[in-house]
Structure 1
């Protein structure tokens, strides 16, 4: 028998044009003076200007903080918190890709805390240090179908001084309302649609392979992979395919809900490389996924036999899943090697040590050593 605590509390509004409900979603979440947090690129776009204007008209005010980096940092969170405090805001609109959403959730967390951010890193019982009443309410609108942070309870932030990514986690960091509007993803270029889509696939796959007890998350992961198998190639081939875009947003949220079961070695290495080299997280996951699966193959036989059937693959078992994965990456233009990103082997030993120490490694199907993580990195290189 197993004991576990499971949470899926976010209210989700799905459909084209539902961004127009943003002000109403804020009211439902108890927000009257929101701060919209997004990244440096989106801050100058029409979609953000319209969202700020609509909320200002309906609610009386809406601030904007648009200085989030591609891999958000502790400094970004501190800047966002200062903007939140100066504007006397009472809630956060997280608007953008996973980086913007993670930074916004961290700002919401820190809005009512007395301890520094890193005191809440997801280690042991650190979440008990959080004053839950000090976490501001959040409404989230993803503009990529990848991280699923709009329904997640975690935020991954780079500690620039230590050059490491740290996961901040608390159940009340889950947004109160998420709006999955596929029109917000229509301008995403094909290469980012591909990278973020395989990021969602990685969340589902690693959650599915995790040894943790969570049958609900396991089932959710399977549905996410079924959607991604069908709709990701369509979304990459035709970015205007609104149905494919919507289904990928749903799959992304399913992936984030699923990884309550844990992630694994792909994320352990990808988060390490993101901290060291500042590369796109989803693309790193997309490149690394088959190499980590191969390293875990010895214990994945039953899961892969089932997954090949669930995905209706032409070939059975682990080899059938790997054939599909490699074919998908080829079809949507994912590089097969990390060297395509300009990464070399000079930090191989350090990468192995950091990946082994990363919290995601603890729910990998095999507890690989630091040396094995170095070897996986070198094979992927």
Structure 2
């Protein structure tokens, strides 16, 4: 075993290290799978990393199917289609393979495989999770190919309700995949632009967890270290996609961010979710652009936390300003646009998205309970690039 190879058991069983995708068949068998369905997105479905994973399962005697009809922001229809494919192939487990969209869709399909209620009945509101027939859920092995959402260690899926044009969070504690493979070799072909956007998404999870007012000391510690890993490794991964050490630790930072946000998220995600639903924009890029504007809006109550983070990162003159400058400099160094207008978000979003943001589940743990008008003001600045 080299220095990057390790097994962890928090928050689930994690098999970390380059080349560990070769263990996929044995981990499927460990969960009782004989007929797994590998779920990925259409961009990955024809690539070697997917075809080889499917073939390795088949060579090991598993009857492995493939499903890839998933949008960049997965929809309820994508989940329904996946459940149909799952039953048509008489599958007994799921391999969630890809970026956040594929992982979220796969976890939702594994949940819905044994349910009699519609998907939206399990939205993360109140005690809806108690409606789940746990015995009907399919086991999941998760294999992320991007370092961003951390969905591989999450207990929820973000799915777009394409009728209402909103993103809904589907939750159950058992949605947490039973086994995760973090193999940096699967991420080396990710283009620099997507490496940057997904890496900033990982940072947004760690940062928003730190800013959440919820008391969860373990999550705070994880968020600090996850932010430090992004500080040291994101630009390296963007500059040289074949840097296995950088790719490895960005995967780790991603998983850490999704573990830390058990503490909650905030206004970055409260705005990014409706923007993604309305304009089908990349979630990680939205968070990357929104980040400094939300930090600035929260400044009055997060200065102590950002000062602590600045000290942990070893920044000069630690304080809120140092952390904000670090975020801005990092974004610039990896070519993240400064304003939402640069990725096609129109001014017309203002006046519409603020009301949606207040209703988003992430708004509940923003350190300041913003009003719709305040959310619209943040969005207006972010569209114009006015910090």
TM-score normalised per structure 1: 0.97
How far does residue 231 in structure 1 lie from its aligned partner after superposition?
0.3
> Residues 140-190 of structure 1, C-alpha deviation per residue, up to 9 Å, x if partnerless?
000000000011101000000000000001110000000000010000010
Instruction: Tell me the equivalent position of 1:44.
Output: 46
1:102 corresponds to 2:99: no
**1:263 aligned counterpart, secondary structure:** coil
CA RMSD, Structure 1 to Structure 2 (Å): 0.9
Instruction: Tell me the equivalent position of 1:59.
Output: 61
Instruction: Tell me the equivalent position of 1:313.
Output: 315
1:18 corresponds to 2:20: yes
Instruction: Tell me the equivalent position of 1:341.
Output: 343
Contact kept, 8 Å, 2:25 with 2:62, in 1: the verdict is no
Distance in 1 (CA, whole Å) between partners of 2:318 and 2:121 is 46
Contact kept, 8 Å, 1:33 with 1:59, in 2: the verdict is no
Instruction: Tell me the equivalent position of 2:32.
Output: 30
Contact kept, 8 Å, 1:231 with 1:244, in 2: the verdict is yes
Contact kept, 8 Å, 2:123 with 2:170, in 1: the verdict is yes
Instruction: Tell me the equivalent position of 1:3.
Output: none
Instruction: Tell me the equivalent position of 1:301.
Output: 303
Instruction: Tell me the equivalent position of 2:184.
Output: 182
Distance in 1 (CA, whole Å) between partners of 2:123 and 2:214 is 21
Instruction: Tell me the equivalent position of 2:6.
Output: none
How far does residue 305 in structure 1 lie from its aligned partner after superposition?
1.6
Identify the range of structure 1 (51-60 vs 325-334) with the bigger mean alpha-carbon deviation.
Answer: 51-60
Aligned counterpart for 2:81 among listed residues 63, 79, 82: 79
1:149 corresponds to 2:142: no
Distance in 2 (CA, whole Å) between partners of 1:213 and 1:59 is 47
Contact kept, 8 Å, 1:81 with 1:111, in 2: the verdict is yes
Instruction: Tell me the equivalent position of 1:4.
Output: none
Any gaps of 5 or more consecutive residues in structure 1?
1-6
Any gaps of 5 or more consecutive residues in structure 2?
1-8
How far does residue 9 in structure 1 lie from its aligned partner after superposition?
3.9
Change (3 A) 1:27 1:9: farther
1:196 corresponds to 2:198: yes
**1:41 aligned counterpart, secondary structure:** helix
How far does residue 8 in structure 1 lie from its aligned partner after superposition?
4.4
How far does residue 72 in structure 1 lie from its aligned partner after superposition?
0.4
Distance in 2 (CA, whole Å) between partners of 1:334 and 1:315 is 25
Distance in 2 (CA, whole Å) between partners of 1:273 and 1:303 is 27
Instruction: Tell me the equivalent position of 2:273.
Output: 271
> Residues 70-116 of structure 1, C-alpha deviation per residue, up to 9 Å, x if partnerless?
11000100110000011111110000000000000000000111110
Instruction: Tell me the equivalent position of 2:5.
Output: none
> Residues 20-77 of structure 1, C-alpha deviation per residue, up to 9 Å, x if partnerless?
0000111122222100000011011111111111111213300000111111000100
> Residues 175-231 of structure 1, C-alpha deviation per residue, up to 9 Å, x if partnerless?
000000001000001010000000000000000110112111111111100100000
Instruction: Tell me the equivalent position of 1:325.
Output: 327
Identify the range of structure 1 (211-220 vs 272-281) with the bigger mean alpha-carbon deviation.
Answer: 211-220
The runs of 4+ residues in structure 1 deviating greater than 4 Å are none
Change (3 A) 1:307 1:9: closer
Instruction: Tell me the equivalent position of 1:378.
Output: 380
1:361 corresponds to 2:363: yes
Distance in 2 (CA, whole Å) between partners of 1:32 and 1:225 is 39
**2:347 aligned counterpart, secondary structure:** coil
TM-score normalised per structure 2: 0.96
Distance in 2 (CA, whole Å) between partners of 1:296 and 1:267 is 14
Distance in 2 (CA, whole Å) between partners of 1:258 and 1:59 is 38
Identify the range of structure 1 (27-36 vs 229-238) with the bigger mean alpha-carbon deviation.
Answer: 27-36
Aligned counterpart for 1:161 among listed residues 157, 160, 163: 163
Distance in 2 (CA, whole Å) between partners of 1:9 and 1:320 is 32
**2:157 aligned counterpart, secondary structure:** strand
Contact kept, 8 Å, 2:11 with 2:259, in 1: the verdict is no
